[in-house]
């Protein structure tokens, strides 16, 4: 399976870098990379179909896996180290346990979701202090987080029969509890808190089966106190457009847009006051069914980076599944 994924990714690969090294898409090359470690505390393109939906009350579990073979020669910082070359395979697994419920007084639903990333890193790097050194981290913990969301459902939206709207504001807080060492090059944690308000919606037209979903996010990054690096604030959104067909199938396109609003700063920002920008797109296929009375869903997607600046996003293959109890 790993060989298949690596070959598939190789067909989409560009000279870029990692999209996520978290707890965790024709490029214009640059000589530097913004945001410490060149990666966000959220995987770009993670949210797709059903972004604005709050699940039925009860317990739910989802797993999101992303694989990226990465080769970059841009300058960026890892754990206070200035890196000039990186060739590494990244596998990120996000475990997402969720509890959902109702607020009858507001005619709303809510969910509380834990985000528990585990990262595998394997490859070589070159830095000022280490020349072509091999590094391997197997399933080390990334930075965990907690998200709280409340949502509403509207039928016949804008007076259009068969058009429904689900929308949900939320707040994600990512901690610094991942594996991190000041002198380590390949850290799976980032040692910076991130506070990320977000807004998600899903428009679905039942007569045609067409869905448009989007999640809009603004990430406020706090200082890494071990490296004195202040990563800038980030605006980004994930989206998906597709059609439901057959029994339980859905297919279409998904992607993301990323723009760093404020530049990096602090003594640790040795590559300067930078602002990253990127966007990517790719196909997605999803299938949902029931096993007994238990709803299950699985999705496969491939994401291609179409443009980036001062950013280490890379092409990737993603697989996720969810089950409701």
Structure tokens at 132: 């072509």
Q: What is the pLDDT of residues 54-104, one digit of tens each?
A: 999 999 999 999 998 877 666 666 656 677 777 788 899 999 999 999 999
Read off the pLDDT band of 33 (50, 70, 90): low
Q: Is 207 exposed, middle or buried (0-12, 13-18, 19+ CB in 10 A)?
A: exposed
Question: What is the pLDDT, as a whole number, of residue 83?
Answer: 73
Question: What is the pLDDT, as a whole number, of residue 75?
Answer: 67
Structure tokens at 300: 């496969």
Mention every residue, 6+ apart, whose C-beta is less than 8 A from residue 299. Answer: 48, 49, 284, 285, 286, 287, 318, 319, 320, 321
Domains of the chain: 2-324 (2.40.160.40)
Q: pTM to 2 decimals?
A: 0.82
- Average pLDDT (38-57) is 86
Question: What is the pLDDT, as a whole number, of residue 22?
Answer: 33
Question: What is the pLDDT, as a whole number, of residue 190?
Answer: 87
Contact 147, 195 (CB under 8 A): no
Question: Cα separation of 198 and 84, whole Å?
Answer: 34
Question: What is the pLDDT, as a whole number, of residue 114?
Answer: 97
Mention every residue, 6+ apart, whose C-beta is less than 8 A from residue 308. Answer: 16, 27, 28, 276, 277, 278, 279
């Amino acid at each position: 399976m790993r060989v298949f994924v690596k070959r598939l990714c190789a067909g989409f690969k560009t000279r870029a870098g990692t999209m996520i090294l978290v707890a965790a898409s024709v490029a214009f090359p640059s000589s530097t990379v913004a945001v410490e470690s060149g990666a966000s505390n959220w995987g770009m393109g993670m949210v797709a179909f059903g972004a604005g939906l709050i699940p039925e009350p009860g317990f739910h579990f989802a797993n999101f896996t992303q694989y990226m073979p990465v080769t970059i020669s841009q300058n960026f910082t890892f754990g206070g180290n200035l890196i000039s070359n990186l060739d590494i395979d990244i596998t990120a697994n996000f475990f997402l346990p969720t509890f959902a419920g109702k607020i009858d007084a507001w005619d709303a639903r809510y969910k509380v979701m834990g985000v528990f990333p585990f990262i595998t890193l394997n490859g070589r790097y070159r830095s000022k202090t280490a020349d072509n050194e091999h590094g391997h981290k197997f399933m080390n913990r990334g930075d965990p987080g907690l998200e709280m969301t409340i949502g509403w459902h509207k039928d016949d939206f804008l007076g259009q029969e068969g058009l429904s709207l689900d929308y949900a504001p939320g707040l994600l807080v990512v901690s610094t509890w991942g594996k991190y060492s000041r002198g380590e090059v390949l850290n799976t944690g980032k040692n910076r808190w991130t506070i990320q308000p977000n807004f998600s919606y899903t428009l679905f037209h039942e007569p045609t089966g067409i869905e448009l979903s989007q999640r809009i996010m603004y990430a406020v990054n706090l200082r890494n106190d071990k490296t004195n690096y202040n990563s800038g604030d980030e605006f980004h959104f994930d989206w998906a457009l597709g059609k439901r067909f057959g029994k339980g199938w859905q297919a279409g396109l998904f992607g993301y847009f990323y723009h760093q609003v404020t530049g990096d700063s602090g003594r640790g920002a040795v590559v300067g006051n930078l602002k990253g920008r990127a966007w990517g797109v790719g196909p997605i296929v999803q299938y949902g069914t029931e096993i007994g009375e238990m709803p299950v869903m699985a999705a496969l997607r491939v994401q291609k980076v179409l443009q980036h600046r001062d950013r280490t996003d890379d092409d990737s293959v993603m697989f996720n599944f969810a089950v409701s109890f």
